[in-house]
Structure 1
Amino acid sequence: MSHIHALEADTNVEWRHDAAPVPYRTALMEQEERNAAIAAGTGRELIWMLEHPPVYTAGTSASFEDLRNPQFDVIETGRGGRYTYHGPGQRIGYILLNLAERGRDVRGFVHALEGWVIDTLADFEVKSWRAEGRIGIWTRDIDGSEAKIGAIGVRVRKWVTMHGFSVNIAPNLDHFGGIVPCGISEFGVTSLERLGLDVSLEQWDEAMERRAGGFLAALTGKE
């Protein structure tokens, strides 16, 4: 079931969250339709929080040697980046915004998106950061090593964004073993659950919505 309402911080943006997993191809088709509608001026901007059944997706920079032992379908997508895994217990945020009206700055959009995830993780007392030369959101794993807790992958078409981020709340981390996540083999992946935190998808969504105003303001430098 989908729950949809206007985002309190910006009522021009539709906030949607799904309780049940949404098949990846279904979500991709809906994104493409909404992207076109926003560009044409006939659809509202959208922030969509959801999860997928287990799937690997290939970005535009995906390299075949990064497929180690894929256990699930591999779907090509138009987002940037390489291979990643999506599955239950991982929260996805698809961000469909009109950058023509929000600064026309793709780098600034990605930076603001990363900052939104980092700030939300901090609300759960998880320190995380960007890492030079490594796309994604990073933190300290239980053994003290650096590990990825969130992935970023976006596409911009006619100044309207698609795709967005994923954050590992409580997925099966073994499923990442079928690929080299984002092409980075020397670092592992972690999750809030692995770090000892019991966070529901609903709690995560609520925390992100509280922080959404800051994210949108950052796009136009009005923080």
Structure 2
Amino acid sequence: VLLFCEHEPVLTIGKHGKQTNLLVSEALLNAKGIQLVQIERGGDITYHGPGQITGYPIFDLEHYGVGIKEYIHTMEQCIIDLLYLYGIRAERLEGATGVWIDAHTPQARKICAIGVHTSRYVTMHGFALNVNTDLSYFQLINPCGFTDKGVTSMEQEIGRGEVYFPLVKHQLEGLFRKHFTHLLYHLPNDDIL
């Protein structure tokens, strides 16, 4: 099962996240109507909200015959391939789960956060892809615990106004089907479409 959601503004802190990466008081969050939720996924603090596709894959990794690293790598590849369709060159950053733009430069910025948890090989939580996201919310936190890297969105990278959200979801679903079908049947998988 792959669920796509678009949340109301909420900050989530992973099980190993640091409260010090929240840069404002909880009273200020309450005044702005932003929830703060401690959850069991990996990773630190991040934001979810309108204009962002929050994806929740509920996959049996034993069924696919993969471990958590290959699962995360495949999820990252789905996002990288989606962004390629929009002319956005995205990549991985060693030691920093997620999908990045200009990953190996001082202008490194994250476009998709990934935080997962598994129980008996079944995945929980997932990814947050910034499509038309209001990036000002990320100023309330050190996103994913980073103080030296930025955050971006598809809208900001393309620079031509809002991206058509329903199409992005449709394309992303297709890429998940492609990549995870390849895993299931152990087919060769191209890195680019």
Give the TM-score of the pair, scaled to structure 1. Answer: 0.75
Q: Distance in 2 between matches of 1:89 and 1:168?
A: 7
Aligned pair 1:82/2:44, yes or no? yes
Q: Distance in 2 between matches of 1:160 and 1:84?
A: 23
Counterpart selection for 2:138 from 158, 163, 176: 176
Give the structure with the higher percent strand: 1
Deviations 1:157-208 (A, max 9, x none): 1111111111111111110111110001101111111121431220111111
Q: Is the 8 A contact 2:75 2:176 kept in 1?
A: no
State the 1:133 CA deviation: 1.7
Q: How high is the sequence identity, in percent, across the aligned residues?
A: 34
Q: Distance in 1 between matches of 2:87 and 2:113?
A: 19
Residue number in structure 1 paired with 2:191: none
1:51-66 maps to which residues of 2 (within 5 A)? 51-66=6-21
The structure with higher relative contact order (CA 8 Å, sep 6+) is: 2
Aligned pair 1:47/2:2, yes or no? yes
Residue number in structure 2 paired with 1:158: 120
Q: Is the 8 A contact 1:66 1:180 kept in 2?
A: yes
Q: Is the 8 A contact 2:78 2:172 kept in 1?
A: yes
How large is the RMSD of aligned CA atoms in angstroms? Answer: 1.7
Residue number in structure 1 paired with 2:77: 115
Residue number in structure 1 paired with 2:178: 214
Distance 1:137 1:160, change over 3 A: same
Residue number in structure 2 paired with 1:69: 24
Q: Distance in 1 between matches of 2:141 and 2:119?
A: 28
Q: Is the 8 A contact 1:99 1:160 kept in 2?
A: yes
Give the TM-score of the pair, scaled to structure 2. Answer: 0.86
Q: Is the 8 A contact 1:108 1:219 kept in 2?
A: no
Q: Distance in 1 between matches of 2:73 and 2:94?
A: 12
Distance 1:140 1:176, change over 3 A: same
Unaligned runs of 5+ in 2: 189-193
Unaligned runs of 5+ in 1: 1-45
